[in-house]
Chain A
Amino acid sequence: MRPFARLSGPSAPAVLVLAAVAAWLTTTAAQQPVRTRGVKQLVSELNAPGIDRGLRDADSPRPAPTGSGRRWVNGRGAEYLSGSLIVRFRPGTLPVTQRALLAQVDATAGAALPYADFDIVTLAGGADPEAVARRLSEQPDVEYAQARYRVRPMFVPNDTLYSRQWNFPQIDVERAWDINRGGSSNVVVAVVDTGVAFRSGTLRFTAMAWQRDDGVNFPALGQVDVPFAAAPDLGADRFVSPRDFIWDDNLPFDLAGHGTHVAGTIGQLSNNGMGVAGMAFNVRLMPVKVVDTEWDYIFDSPFIGTDDTVARGVRYAADNGAQVINLSLGREGDPAPAVRSAVEYAVSHGAFVVVAGGNDALEGNEVERYAEFAPQIDGMVSVAATGPDRRRASYSSTGSYVELAAPGGDFSRGGAVGGILQQTLDLDLVETFAGPVSRYTAPRFDAFAYFYFEGSSMATAHVSGLAALLMSQGITSPAAVEAILKQSATDLGSPGRDNEYGSGLINARAALRGLGLAR
């Protein structure tokens, strides 16, 4: 059941007991595909305020968090979860027909999930989810079937205040603030991501033993009380409808720093005498956690970040009043109909959706499956990244689906300060697993620092921030937001739309000014 070997070897009797328990668990899992695993317990509502540990621009580069250690299968360009898949039957398909179709592939449906218009089905044996999905897709009663592809945040973090935020002048944000200073608190932006450092509290987890991708084994830490705090430069009283689809509760704490950094670009408190600025610093933020990271794995979260989780998160955000939904995430592999359907639902409910264009230009430039369908939806845009020199970031994926470009940072051309600077978790106190085992301790999520990150994730957050400003101006139609973002973009690269920059680099002031009769 576990994806990686534990450290200590059990004795023979214990093996028998464990085997019996495992068999029982397997049977149960067949009936209930997502069972409760790790436990996250709020042991205290209070914690000391977040600790600001300053600017971190001189650290040596640290590797990006790459995986949560689950059992993944390498598919065609993307990893996916073994043992289950996502299926949507056509409306009107009788339950008996559904069961019969699933029986043909030795699959059983689980309980219906909230915020989902699809089923998660469990596969018996070692059947390959991609192969089974292809078989099911051929059935006339099946609208789509897909593997549960893993999603990941779109960033390449680097350890490395306003004068350092070259990204805002690049898209004329300062003059845009002359028109609309930070947007309205009536606008809600959903950060569908790894969570956000949105409040204080102490949570009790059980940290299991695990093995890092490079084979290093880490011991179980047992029960640990982990302190959390709201990021000081985000504020604590502007968050609405928080939801965690990884832990299935309303405490979407960020255990990696990605979501908090993205939220900072969208709405970091500004003009407050500390730290850095954000695009739309008056809007409210909705933290929706759909991506699991290392500590979620170590704490054995019950859910994981796959297409179904993302789709549910998007639907939740739309149903709970988000006008802008930021998706600084994505994946390659096969198409993503569940997520597409969720985005269409969100747009039809008045939400403007922004998705990362991808970071794989240097690694095969595979098609980004979430960004891929953005051009077909009026009210959703995919975003490429630019560096400090206004050129496409070296890593930023290219393709016909790229619709806009925004600052994402580029360490390869801008050095350590070539990224996007925002406040996030102090990664030294979070990524205790990144170094030797001797330095492995329980993490803390109540200390913060200013880090430069790069990635189309960061670019996406700029577009979401601008969309929030437009919404604050009364442009509430997602299609209209998309139209003005494109009409006002600064054309870069080949004249007209191109595969590197789409319609061009967003221009915040031009977008907010809108169009006059003659100009």
Chain B
Amino acid sequence: MRLYEYIVRRMILLIFVLAGVTLVVFYLSHVISNPLYLYLTPKTTQAGIQALIEKYGLNQPLPVQYFKYFIGLFTGDWGYSKLATQPVFTAIAQRFPNTVELAIAAVILTIAVGIPLGIVSGVMNGKWADHASRIFAIVGVSLPVFWLGLLLKILFYYDFNVWGLPNLPSSGAYDTILALSHPAGLSPTITGVPLLDTLVTGNWVMFSDSFAHLILPAVTLAFISIGNITRIMRSSMLEVLRQDYITLARSKGLTERIVIYRHALRNAMVPTLTVSGLIFAGLLGGAPITEFIFQWPGIGQLSINGLLSNDLSLVLGYVFLTTIIIVVANLAVDILYAYMDPRVRI
């Protein structure tokens, strides 16, 4: 049961990391700013303040407060969000499916473009195709996300409008007005993911609308990830093509095609796919900036709004969730790695 042990060990590590992350932020927030402000309104009286302190246990020693908070995180009590006028957990849970939708779209795009580009670049090392991909990749990685998003908006939304071309929508996950006017609207919500729901219920009008809304944010996100994946795939290919077993494969008289697809790729894919997994996890973290620019109703946008309105519990809840996602994704990737490379056994 070595796999089982391994997972358990990593889970313990996860809790440890979660504790660390939340501790840092919690401590900073309680020492530097006063959490009391979360609950104050202009109408609160002195007695009211006292009552608030009592209610939320703000007069207890810091470690105790933290401990309660930490336990609360695991039981679903993530505090209350003034901004969303909802418990933090509910607010995040409602918007999470949208983030998932965006993340999946971006990852699919990234893999579909990035991997072939990386392979071509590696195989054609030194030729113009290689140089072109490398430039494309490194520029992609150097772009600020918000700027790229804005540029795409300018081009495909504003300019297309002006030029009379069909334009891509620039905000939201779907057109709310359309949703209201359309007889079926967006119901029933099964998964909470608009694209899937409309697909499953055969609601083509809303489906194409959701799809159209997905394009710009997904491309923005994917652009930068593609740069990353291409570079990794390329260096992985170069590494593999230099190996002795490739020389043997060629000496067997195999066509270059088979040498690359059967011998080289199977080895080169391993680090690339693992990185893809990590990228997906990162995207699940909401890609806050992209969501913000496109007003995409996901957890990233929520956290930014929380940040800007000093709604600390919201930000903390977001950080908590993101940490879990990333650490679990790392674990999954490590297991996947062991599965793909027969030499590696946990």
Q: Please say whether chains A and B are actual partners in one complex.
A: no
- Which residues of chain A have a CB within 8 Å of any CB of chain B? none
